[in-house]
Amino acid sequence: MPKQLTADDVRVPLNAHVAAKGVEIRAKYGPNLGWSELELMLEDRTCVRYPCAIEFNAESLQPGEFAHPVAKGGNPEDGFTMFVHPFFMTRLPEVPFLVLYQLVAVNYGEFASGDDAVTFGAAALGLAEDAYYERLCELVDPISDCGCA
C-alpha cells in the first residue's frame, strides 16, 4: 500500500521552492527591491501567480496585523487585494518587506507556512532569514500590541 503524504512531506520541497522563487525575484527586481520594483513585480505572473493589488486599509486586518491578502472572488484567478496597514502608507520603502511575507499566501495558499514566508521574503531581499525576520518585527512593532515574539 502506498504511503499517504503528510504536510511534512510537502514542507521541505515547498520551502526550497519558495527560496528559489525569492532568488529569482531578487535577480529580476533587486538588489534594492523598493516600492517601484514591488509594483512591477506584482504585475509579473512569473513572480506573483495571481493578480494582486495593494490597498492601504486596516478594515480587513486583525488587531496588530500588518498586511493580509483577501481573495476578490471565488477563484484565485479573480485576484487578491493585499490590505496593508495605513501606518505604512507614508513608509513605501518598507512595504516590500511586509508584502513579500504575505505573498506566499497568494502564490501557495494554505500550503505555505510562516517559515515559508520568511524564507521567501529573505531570499527576495537578499537577507539572512534571521535578519529579515528581525527587520520585519522592527517594522511591525509600532502597530502591534505585543510586538513579535
Query: Which residues lie below 8 Å from residue 122, measured CB to CB, with a gap of 6+?
Result: 22, 128, 129, 131, 132, 133
> For the chain, what are the domain ranges?
8-50+91-141
Give the model confidence (pLDDT) of 87-144 as tens digits.
Answer: 999 999 999 999 999 999 999 998 899 999 999 999 999 999 999 999 999 999 999 8
Mean pLDDT of 20-30: 96
Task: Please report which confidence band the pLDDT of residue 3 belongs to, taking 50, 70 and 90 as the band edges.
Answer: low
Q: What is the pTM of this model?
A: 0.88
Distance CA 107, CA 52 (A): 10
Which residues touch 119 (CB under 8 Å, ≥6 apart)?
15, 18, 19, 22, 129
